[in-house]
Amino acid sequence: MTTITTGWDLLDTAHDALRATVRRVPADAWSRPTPCSEWNVAQVVQHAAGDQLAFAAAITGEPGPDFNPFAPSGVIDGAPSDLLEPMVAACAAAWATIGADVESVPVPVPPNALPPAVGAGAAALDAAVHAWDIARATGQPSPLTPELAAGLLDVARQIVEPLRQYGAYAAAIEGTGDEETALLHYLGRDPHWTA
């Protein structure tokens, strides 16, 4: 499958991180617990894929996922990458149509329209943080580089507070650390989480 670049570097990097992390999940790891305490690895993959398709649908008006990304079953027919790839590709194709000069772009999260850099960043935040969840659960190295984490933290500070009331993110954790730690703390994630 040809990878579509969006022209939004943060989003392209996050999509690459999510794809690579899912490809490296060991065959026996799909039912492992994750930092998303209600979901196992397969459910986080379903959620992340569905969210990316929801970002695409908000832009294109085409159908979103045919399942509820907030109630993932954990049952993936076929290879997980077969579920993930088309949804990430749809998101990338949709964002590739959005120029930096657009005033706002529709998004599937409140307030449902954001400046384009922030909207692309919101999709990137979702993809990259769930890549981190999957990596942490399956013993992989973190996909959050210092540059990616810093860019995502900037976006998170612009969009996360209203989303906490919907349970999308836990309360921020106090603490200091590098860019990755700062991002994870802000999102209510423990950088040292273990199953």
Query: Could you tell me the CATH number of the domain that includes residue 31?
Result: 1.20.120.450
Residues of the chain with pLDDT > 90: what percent?
90
Using omega within 30 degrees of 0 as the cis cutoff, is the peptide bond preceding 111 cis? yes
Average pLDDT on 138-163 reads 96
Contact (Cβ atoms closer than 8 angstroms) between residue 123 and residue 95: yes
Contact (Cβ atoms closer than 8 angstroms) between residue 73 and residue 43: yes
| Residue 73: pLDDT over 80 | yes
| Residue 10: pLDDT over 90 | yes
Which tens digits make up the pLDDT trace of 123-149?
999 999 999 999 999 999 999 999 999
Average pLDDT, the chain: 95
Establish if 160 belongs to a structural domain: no
Establish if 180 belongs to a structural domain: no
Containing domain of residue 66, as a range? 9-147
Number of independent structural domains in the chain: 1
Establish if 3 belongs to a structural domain: no
| Residue 1: pLDDT over 70 | no
Establish if 176 belongs to a structural domain: no
Contact (Cβ atoms closer than 8 angstroms) between residue 22 and residue 11: no
Establish if 129 belongs to a structural domain: yes
Query: Helices marked H in 24-115 — which ranges?
Result: 41-60, 80-95
Which tens digits make up the pLDDT trace of 90-136?
999 999 999 999 999 999 999 999 999 999 999 999 999 999 999 99
Average pLDDT on 47-60 reads 98
Distance, in Å, from the CA atom of 33 to the CA atom of 37, rounded to the nearest integer, reads: 7
Phi and psi, residue 113, nearest 5°: -155, 135
Establish if 172 belongs to a structural domain: no
Establish if 190 belongs to a structural domain: no
Residue 2's pLDDT band, with cuts at 50, 70 and 90, is low
Establish if 177 belongs to a structural domain: no
Structure tokens at 150: 């810093």
Average pLDDT on 8-36 reads 97
Distance, in Å, from the CA atom of 112 to the CA atom of 106, rounded to the nearest integer, reads: 6
